[in-house]
Amino acid sequence: MDLRELINVKEGWIDRRLFWDQGIFELELERLFARSWLFVAHESQIPKPGDFVTTYMGQDNVVVSRHKDGSVRVFLNSCVHRGNRICFADRGSTRSFVCNYHGWAYGTDGRLLGMHEDSHYEGWIDKSQWGLKNARVSSYKGLLFACFDTDAPSLDDFLGDYRWYLDIVLDQCDEGTEFIGGCVKNMFDANWKFGAENFAGDSLHVGWTHNSGTQSITYGKQVGEVMPVDPQSFHANANGHCWEGGLDGIGSLALLSSDRPCIMEYYQARREKMAKRLGDLRAKRIFGSVISATVFPNFSFLPGIATMRAWLPKGPTRIELRAWTIINKDMPDNVRDAVRDACMLSFAPAGLFEMDDGENWENATRSNEGVITRRGRLHYGLRNGTSRRDDPDLPGNISRPMYSDVNQLAFYQRWLDFMTASSWADIPKSR
C-alpha cells in the first residue's frame, strides 16, 4: 500500500482507510508512536522520589518514575526475565518494583537490583546489562514527554514554534502549573485520530454538536451567544502541532464560569500580570477565548476549560482517553474546586460535551464496517491553501478564520511525513 495515495493535501481529501485498517495501525505504532515525543505525565503527579505513574506510549506500557536523585525516568513496564508487568498500579510511591512471577526487583531508575534466590544466578547474569529499557525524557514547563527513538531531535526542536502557544497555558505565573483531581479514564470505540484532529481544529462542530449541552448549563443561551467567534480567529500549526482560537479573550472562560463566577474573577484579576510575561496578545486576547489544541500526535487540551488529555490507541477502532484538570499552582482553593467541577461537568465520561463527541467519533469509525463505505474519501478541503507563515503577530502557519480544515490537513501531512519515512533523517525538520 502506497500511503501517499491515501492523503491528498492539495485537493483536500483523506482516504477512509486511515480510520479502520489494521495494517495502517500497526505501522502507526512503529513509525509514529515509537519515534515521537509523547506526553506521559505532569511533574506534579510525581513530586517526591519514589513516586510513579503508569501510562502508555503507543501500546507500550511504561512507568514514569521519580528517582532518588530527583530525576524522572520512563521505562518499559515489562520484566526482562519472562515479560510480566513489574507494576500493576496506576500511581503510587515505592522504593523498588518487583515482578510477581520470579521476584526480579528493579530500582526507580529501571536498574536490575536482584531477584528471588539470586545466588543461583551468580556467574550467569550481569545485572548491569539487564535493566528495563529506558526512554529519553524531557520536560517542557511541567509537562513530561518521553521518546524511545535515539535519533529523534530534542523536545524543544520537536515542538518548534508551538512553544509560543504552549506558554499561554504553562507560563502564566512564576509558580507554574499542576494537575489536580487525579486522572479520568474513558473508552471509545473509535479511531484515535478522530479525537486528535477534533481538538486540532474542528471548531465547526461546536455550534451544532454541543448546542443543546451549552443551553443546558447557560439557561438557554446558544453557543454563539456564549462563545462568539471573532472574525480574526485563526488556525495555527507548526510541525503538525495545532492551535485554533478566537481573540475575544472570554468565550471559553464564560462557559467555564457559568454558575462559578470566581473563575472569571480570578483570571480577569491577573490579566495584567500575565501580560507582563506573555504580552497583551496572548494574555488578554488569546487566553480565555474559544480554543482547542493538539500536540502531535496524541496530546490535546482546551486552554480556557483547563482540561488536558491523551488519546491512547488500543487498536484501529478503540481509544483509551486519559484526561486531567490543569491549574496554576497559585490558584486559591475555592477557584481550584470550581475549575475541577466545571471540567467534570463539561469534559468527563458523564460530561455534557464528552458524550456528544464520543458518540460522533464512534459512529464515524463504525460506518467504515461497510465494504463500499470504506472505499470512499472524506472531504478536508475547507479553506485549504489559505495558510501563511509571515503573520506579524503569530508564529507558525496561520489561516483565518478558525472555521477551516487547515489544521486537520497539517496534522495529516505530518502523519504522512512520519508514516513514509524510514528514519528521522527522512522526516522534514519543520512544516
Compute the half-sphere exposure of residue 355: CA atoms within 13 Å on the CB side of its CA: 11
Number of helices followed by number of strands (H, E) in the chain:
14, 21
Copy the grid coordinates of residue 262. 470566581
- What is the rounded CA–CA span in Å between residue 12 and residue 406? 9
Copy the grid coordinates of residue 414. 505530518
What residues contact residue 139 under an 8 Å CB cut-off, 6+ apart? 43, 72, 145, 155
Where are any strands of DSSP class E within 99-174? 105-106, 112-114, 136-140, 143-147
Where are any strands of DSSP class E within 254-404? 291-295, 299-302, 307-313, 319-328, 377-379, 397-399
Identify the pLDDT of residue 329.
97
Buried b (16+ CB within 10 A) or exposed e, 183-216: bbebebebbbbbbbbbbbbbbeebeebbeebbbe
Domains and CATH numbers, the chain: 38-139 (2.102.10.10), 161-423 (3.90.380.10)
- Containing H/E element for 338? helix 333-346
What residues contact residue 355 under an 8 Å CB cut-off, 6+ apart? none
The answer to whether the beta carbons of residues 345 and 213 sit under 8 Å apart is no
Identify the pLDDT of residue 346.
79
> Cell 517526591 appears where?
48
Instruction: Tell me which residues are annotated as active site.
Output: 102, 202, 205, 210, 357
Task: List the chain pLDDT tens, one digit each, 431 residues.
Answer: 899 999 999 999 999 999 999 999 999 999 999 999 999 999 999 999 999 999 999 999 999 999 999 999 999 999 999 999 999 999 999 999 999 999 999 999 999 999 999 989 999 999 999 999 999 999 999 999 999 999 999 999 999 999 999 999 999 999 999 999 999 999 999 999 999 999 999 988 877 776 666 665 555 665 566 555 677 899 999 999 999 999 989 888 887 888 899 999 999 999 999 999 999 999 999 999 989 999 999 999 999 889 999 999 999 999 999 999 999 999 999 999 999 998 888 787 777 777 788 899 999 999 998 999 999 999 999 999 999 999 999 999 999 999 999 999 999 999 999 999 999 999 999 88
- What is the rounded CA–CA span in Å between residue 44 and residue 142? 7
pTM of the full structure: 0.95
